[in-house]
Amino acid sequence: MATSTTTILVLHHEPDRYFETLCARFPEVSFHSARNDIEVAKQMAECNPQVLLSFRCDAISTKAQTMAARESCVQWIQVAGAGYDHIGDLQQIACPVTNCAGVLSRFQAETVMGAMINLNFGFFRYQQQQQEKMYRKLPWRSLEGQKLLLIGLGHIGRAVAINAHHFGMHVTAVRSRVQDSPDADEVYTQDRLPDLLPKADFVSLHLPYNEATHHFFDAKMLASMKKSAYLINTARGNVVDEEALISALREASIAGAYLDVFSEEPLPQSSQLWKLGNVLLSPHYCDSVVDWHERFAGFFADNLDRWLAGEKLHNLIKP
């Protein structure tokens, strides 16, 4: 636990927005930051931090994050976000790990709902017509009564379900075990997916990424979807077999997709996804409201209070 010389290393390429606030709130703690791989290695060697605040960001590689997480000096890791695949295999990390699940859930759910509205009404098609100065009316039907299949019912999945119910959608959820949920109309386990996918108008993925979920949503599942259905992935890129998805979109075997995450990030210029007219793309930023840095830092500060006092941490994912 905490010592009289508690040292904390923040792994993030843009710490300026909240770093001084953390220092002012905890004057007895020594804060340091690393903005890239070289700085991570340097700070780990010089500071021997007991605590890591780890942001997933392009400027710091998974290799550097994993190296830092496995150092023996580290006694606790706070992940700034819900996903933690960027720090490597949890089984190889000796200390407690917590995440920020729930902090930005309602914002991500807001984006998912916006994507469903866009895809359903056809705003993206009207934008294409606008570029061509084409005045043509496209048929559409209300979201009311349409079926949303959520694969994953954690903080984000539940927030999406609440939003969808406001629009009168029927919400079915798939999770690791069946249990009553006030947020979904029906809850099943993954073995029921072959029956559920052909009935869904929208399929939204909310799974963590790990070895078990790599390419979880594959060509077989895509082939099970209705031709008029849409896929939404705001979880992790490699939860979906991206090549199979590109084929399904190109062949119009599904109506379209909204993707915020990709198998390789940033999305390469060579990706076929850029060229497809039935897909909406955003750069892994769907929950990143303007003050997201401060929200994560604020959650970390509250947890740091608990850690310094020897109390149980919130959002413990690895005891």
The model's pLDDT over 83-138, given as tens digits with 9 standing for 90+, comes to 999 999 999 999 999 999 999 999 999 999 999 999 999 999 999 999 999 999 99
Using alpha carbons, list the distances in angstroms from residue 243 to 148, 212, 246, 264, 307.
24, 19, 5, 12, 44
Out of 14, 20, 265, 311, pick the active-site residue.
265
- Beta strands 97-98 and 316-318: pairing type? antiparallel
Confidence of residue 27 (pLDDT cuts 50, 70, 90): very high
Using alpha carbons, list the distances in angstroms from residue 296 to 96, 237, 303.
18, 22, 11
Residues 6+ apart with CB under 8 A from 179: 187
Residue closest to 2 by CA, chosen among 306, 317, 299, 316:
306
* φ/ψ (deg, to 5) at 117: -65, -45
For residue 307, what are its two tokens?
């850690």
Pick 164 or 178 by higher pLDDT: 164
Question: What domains are defined for the chain?
Answer: 7-103+290-318 (3.40.50.720), 105-281 (3.40.50.720)
Out of 12, 170, 284, 293, pick the active-site residue.
284
265 is catalytic: yes
Residue 318 pLDDT = 79
Residue 235: how many CB atoms within 10 A of its CB?
A: 26
Residue closest to 307 by CA, chosen among 70, 67, 97:
97
Looking at every residue in the chain, the average pLDDT score rounds to 96
Between 123-131 and 105-121, two packed helices, what is the crossing angle to 10 degrees?
Answer: 60
Work out whether the CA dihedral 265, 126, 117, 290 comes out positive or negative.
Answer: positive
Q: What percent of the chain has pLDDT over 70?
A: 99
Residue 28 pLDDT = 95
2: pLDDT strictly greater than 60: no
Confidence of residue 143 (pLDDT cuts 50, 70, 90): very high
Confidence of residue 177 (pLDDT cuts 50, 70, 90): confident
Out of 12, 86, 175, 236, pick the active-site residue.
236
284 is catalytic: yes
3: pLDDT strictly greater than 60: no
Model pLDDT for residues 201-249, shown as the tens digit of each residue: 999 999 999 999 999 999 999 999 999 999 999 999 999 999 999 999 9
Model pLDDT for residues 288-314, shown as the tens digit of each residue: 999 999 999 999 999 999 999 999 999
